Amino acid sequence: MGFIGNILDMAAPPSDARAPAPPPLDALQSLVNTWFGRVTTGEGDEGLQSPADLARWCRERGTDIADREVAGPDLEVARAVREGIRAALARHNDAEQPADVAALDRLDQVAAGLQLHTAFDGGGSGPRLEPHDSTPVRRLMATLLGTAVLADRDRTWQRLKVCREPRCRAAFYDTSRNNSGVWCSMSACGAAAKQRAFVERRRAKNAAARRAAAP
């Protein structure tokens, strides 16, 4: 999948579509982008409306799980992790929103119950982080949070960002040399921001002209 962002707002993917994040960050990006906003309407698309939706997403990420193994509390945990990660990624791009504070607080609460331990085996693969026994969804969420910690250490975490367009907030991976990307797509969200700035400048200019012409 070449474009990660506001593809549903467009007839075709934009020419500047970004590639997905490299593994294993692509799983975090995929989770965040189970919800993103539509720039054209200001509304959001929710991809995790039900436990069955979550089970389907887990299978797409390689977790062998049946619909019956996912319950309402699992869906609540997955959404809390998703929105907490979105809030954390927004900090990488000056894209914070007021609701992010509560999302991060909720993530801290949920993460306390998603524990990992260090595992070793004799196969020579080295130490690895493994989730404690729990539901399949909770194990996957714990693994994703562990991915964030490891990505922070290898300096790829800062490249996973949330689009600065507040009506979008899709996650994208910034491959620019100086890590300066701010939009999931310059031709979609970047263009929308430029248009909004133009309208605001014109409005301010017209207001100033009216004040100057007033007696």
pLDDT digits (tens, 9 = 90+) for 98-119: 999 999 999 999 999 998 988 8
**Number of helices followed by number of strands (H, E) in the chain:** 6, 6
pLDDT > 90? residue 2? no
Mean pLDDT of the chain: 85
Share of the chain above pLDDT 90, in %: 60
- The DSSP output letter for 124 is S
Closest Cα to residue 113, out of 85, 135, 90? 135
**What are the pLDDT digits (tens) for 15-71?**
456 889 999 999 999 999 999 887 666 678 899 999 999 999 999 999 999 999 999
Residue 116 CB-half CA count within 13 A:
18
22 burial class (0-12, 13-18, 19+ CB within 10 angstroms)? Answer: middle
Structure-model confidence comparison of residues 129 and 73, the more confident one: 73
Rounded to two decimals, the pTM is: 0.81
Q: Find the helix or strand (DSSP H, E) in which 118 lies.
A: strand 116-119
Nearest to 193 by CA among 204, 180, 183, 205: 183
Query: Given phi > 0 = left and psi -120 to 50 = alpha, else beta, which region is 169?
Result: left
- 134 neighbors 142 (Cβ within 8 angstroms): yes
Domains annotated for the chain, with CATH where assigned, are: 19-184 (1.10.3300)
% of the chain surpassing 70 pLDDT: 79
Alpha helix positions (H), 40-173: 51-60, 72-90, 100-111, 136-153
Specify the pLDDT at position 214.
74
Strands 44-46 and 160-162: unpaired
